[in-house]
């Protein structure tokens, strides 16, 4: 049942390498393989954890017994080749996947110790505690100002002072304030792609979320905009707990504290980012982070 294996903590560099088994072939054949979880995460305060989380799209299983933890105030990156279930996992955290009628899940997730998938959970209330940034910038067809304060508007906030304050704080938080402060009433769609994505980040942090979910936030952006977003993630770290899906290995290495490597719906290895990138336990992880497959 419990598929997580805790390894003995050893001195850096001389951790026991798991023997090179044919894990990838076993996964492809439908077998379950245990996750290698490094022990450092146990020392961290946890904001989100998944417990044996499985997800099916209709008859097809997309996630297999995922056990991952997100440390408070840290950045956790989900990496893995296309189709490994990174996006599915992050979209399950705020139950956006519920909108698809074919999705079934097993297992549970806990946000600050409270169940996300228990029956009777107030999904809308739950989503208000999280912020999410999507692959493609999706500003709403309204002004920059209204985009940022949207989470407050839907809560019925009318006080102009509160809204103004949140707008400025969020835009400053998303490093966009200086660029747009003089045209807050302009249509958000008039911004460039990178600005739009930072606007979406501002919107996501406007309601002070407990966790910020980022689903490949830079994949639709040019390199300069990407750099800006990465710097932004660096700044947000500490104030916000961030779970980020990325395709870009350097990005994961640069921005994250913890990294989870997924493959075909299985979580293979999870630990501190330096460890995953420099001395992973699994040969598959090493192969992936060094670009030998995926």
Partner 1 sequence: MRRRPRAKASVLAEGEPMIWLTAGGLTVAILMIAGLLALVTVQGLATLWPVPLTRIRLANGVQHMGEVARSELFRPPAAFWPSLAPEAERRARDEAAGQDGRLRRRLIRIGNFEITGEHFQWVNDFEVVAEEQPEWAIVVERMSWGRFYGIPIAFVEDGRRVAETPQAAWELFRRHHGEVAARRARRRRLETREIGAINAALESARLALRAAEQRNGADAPATQARRRAYEAAEVRGSNEYARVRAEIAALDAANARYRMVFRTAGDRETTLDLAAVVRAYPANQLRWIDRLGIYASRWTEFLTAEPREANSEGGVFPAIFGTVLMTLIMSFAVAPLGVMAALYLREYAKAGAAVSAVRIAVNNLAGVPSIVFGVFGLGFFCYLIGARLDELFFAARLPNPTFGKGGLLWASMTLALLTLPVVIVATEEALSAVPNSMREGSYACGAGKWQTIRRIVLPRAMPGILTGMILAMARGAGEVAPLMLVGAVKLAPELPLDSVFPYLHPERSFMHLGFHIYDLGFQSQNSEAAKPMVFTTTLLLMALIFALNVAAVRLRSRLRRKFVSAAF
Q: Which is nearer to partner 1, 47 or 207 (CB)?
A: 207
Q: Which is nearer to partner 1, 137 or 265 (CB)?
A: 137
Min dist CB 42 to partner 1, Å, is 30
Instruction: Please give the C-alpha separations between residue 81 and each of 6, 122, 236, in angstroms, as whole numbers.
Output: 24, 33, 26
How far apart CA 92 and CA 89 sit, in angstroms, is 5
Q: Which two structure tokens, joined as six digits, stand for 180?
A: 């747009």
Min dist CB 167 to partner 1, Å, is 14
How far apart CA 170 and CA 199 sit, in angstroms, is 9
Q: Which is nearer to partner 1, 7 or 96 (CB)?
A: 96
Min dist CB 230 to partner 1, Å, is 21
Give the number of other Cβ atoms within 10 Å of residue 247's Cβ. 16
Q: Which is nearer to partner 1, 99 or 224 (CB)?
A: 99
Q: Which two structure tokens, joined as six digits, stand for 146?
A: 């209204």
Helix (H, G, I), strand (E, B), or coil: what is residue 211? Answer: strand
Residue 18 DSSP one-character state: P
Task: Count the residues in the chain.
Answer: 294
Judge whether 107 and 63 are in contact, CB under 8 Å: no
Min dist CB 178 to partner 1, Å, is 21
User: In this structure, are strands 35-37 and 266-272 parallel, antiparallel, or unpaired?
Assistant: parallel
Q: Which is nearer to partner 1, 129 or 254 (CB)?
A: 129
Min dist CB 213 to partner 1, Å, is 8
Nearest to 184 by CA among 206, 199, 173, 194: 199
Q: Which is nearer to partner 1, 189 or 249 (CB)?
A: 189
List residues near partner 1 by CB under 8 A: 94, 96, 99, 101, 124-125, 127-128, 130-132, 134, 136-142, 150-151, 153-155, 187, 189, 192-193, 196, 200, 203-204, 207, 213, 220
Q: Which is nearer to partner 1, 216 or 284 (CB)?
A: 216
Exposure string of 34-62, with b = 16+ CB inside 10 Å and e = fewer, is bbbbbeebeebeebbbbeebbbeeeeebb
Min dist CB 98 to partner 1, Å, is 9
Min dist CB 228 to partner 1, Å, is 16
């Amino acid at each position: 049942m419990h598929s997580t294996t805790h390894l003995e903590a050893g001195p850096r560099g001389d951790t026991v390498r798991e023997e090179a088994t044919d894990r990838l072939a076993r996964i492809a054949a439908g077998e379950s393989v245990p996750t290698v979880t490094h022990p450092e995460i146990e020392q961290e305060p946890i904001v989100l954890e998944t417990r044996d989380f499985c997800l099916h799209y209709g008859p097809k299983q997309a996630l297999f017994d995922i056990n991952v933890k997100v440390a408070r105030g840290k950045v956790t990156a989900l990496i893995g080749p296309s189709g490994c279930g990174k996006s599915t996992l992050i979209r399950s955290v705020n139950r956006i996947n519920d909108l698809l009628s074919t999705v079934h899940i097993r297992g549970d997730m806990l946000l600050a110790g409270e169940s996300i998938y228990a029956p009777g959970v107030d999904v809308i209330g739950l989503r208000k505690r999280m912020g999410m940034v999507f692959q493609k910038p999706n500003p709403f067809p309204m002004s920059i100002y209204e985009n940022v304060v949207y989470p407050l508007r839907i809560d019925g906030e009318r006080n102009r002072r509160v809204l103004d304050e949140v707008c400025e704080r969020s835009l400053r938080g998303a490093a966009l304030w200086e660029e747009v402060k003089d045209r807050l009433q302009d249509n958000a769609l008039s911004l460039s792609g990178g600005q739009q994505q930072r606007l979406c980040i501002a919107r996501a942090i406007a309601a002070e979320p407990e966790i910020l979910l980022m689903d490949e936030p830079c994949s639709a952006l040019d390199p300069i905009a990407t750099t800006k977003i990465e710097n932004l993630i660096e700044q947000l770290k500490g104030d916000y707990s961030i779970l980020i899906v990325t395709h870009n290995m350097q990005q994961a290495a640069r921005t994250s504290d913890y990294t989870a490597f997924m493959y075909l719906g299985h979580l293979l290895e999870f630990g501190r980012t330096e460890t995953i990138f420099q001395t992973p336990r699994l040969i598959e992880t090493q192969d992936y982070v060094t670009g030998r497959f995926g």
